[in-house]
Amino acid sequence: MNSLKYLVFLGIWIAGVIFYANMDREAIGRSNEKYEREINDLSVPPTLGARIEDPSWSIAYWISADKKDADCVTADEYMDHNAESKTVTQRGHTKTYYLSEYIDSCRNRVKRALEQVTPPVRKWCAYRHTSPRLETLCHEWEQNKDIYISRMNKLDGPTLARYAAFIGK
């Protein structure tokens, strides 16, 4: 009889976890949809979170303009071991990671950064005169965009060149 109670409790618990996990996903989905609509609608003023309001936060920090891309670092590690792939098994699930995928990500870093930054910066600049922080952020991007892109290319370029030699191109 106790095992039956245990199974009923376990079943209810699992159903609850699944139910709340789905609710969280739906809420996140709605939040993301709202963000996408509002970020592209210049009639809706921007709202900055506490982190972005902090004067120490910068666009350079946001896009890691002063650090080598993590996927470039991983690609270098693969090449250090003369490996084109790595297979990992965790909890009975096996996945293979490929050097070429890390290289593609490394190569597309600047494009991803621009796609990430452009919509909010467009809005920040449209409202730059309404807030000193918006003015600062807009000015930072206008003045430093090319510098940030150059830094990222300089940091990641050696990995891409190394990969070209690694595959014999």
| Strands (E) located in the chain | 85-90, 93-98
Q: What is the DSSP letter of 122?
A: H
pLDDT of residue 83: 94
pLDDT above 80 for 18: no
C-beta separation of 99 from 83 below 8 A: yes
Quote the mean pLDDT of the chain: 89
- The 10s digit of each residue's pLDDT in 44-92 is 899 899 999 999 999 999 999 999 999 999 999 999 999 999 999 988 8
The proportion of the chain whose per-residue pLDDT surpasses 70, expressed as a percent, equals 86
Q: What is the dihedral of CA 5, 9, 11, 12, to 10 degrees?
A: 140
Each domain of the chain, given as residue ranges in start order, spans 1-39, 55-168
